[in-house]
Amino acid sequence: MSLEVWVVTGDNARTADTTADQLGISCRNIMVGAVPFQGLC
């Protein structure tokens, strides 16, 4: 089994890049500007 680790954050790209770099996460696995799930329609 393999896992793919992502950084998903509401922060800006610079903060996400810095955090991912410190954790050894690829810059390809970053999603910025995320908002909390608003619920089902």
CA torsion sign for 12, 16, 17, 19 is: positive
- Residue 19 inside a domain? The answer is yes
Q: Which pLDDT score is estimated for 36? A: 82
Q: Which pLDDT score is estimated for 28? A: 96
Domain extent, residue 21, equals 1-35
Q: Which pLDDT score is estimated for 37? A: 75
- Residue 15 inside a domain? The answer is yes
Percent of the chain that is helix, strand, coil (3-state, to 5): 35, 10, 55
Number of domains in the chain: 1
- Residue 21 inside a domain? The answer is yes
Q: Which pLDDT score is estimated for 39? A: 55
- Residue 40 inside a domain? The answer is no
Q: Which pLDDT score is estimated for 11? A: 92
- Residue 41 inside a domain? The answer is no
What does the pLDDT look like over 1-41, one tens digit per residue?
A: 899 999 999 999 999 999 999 999 999 999 998 888 755 54
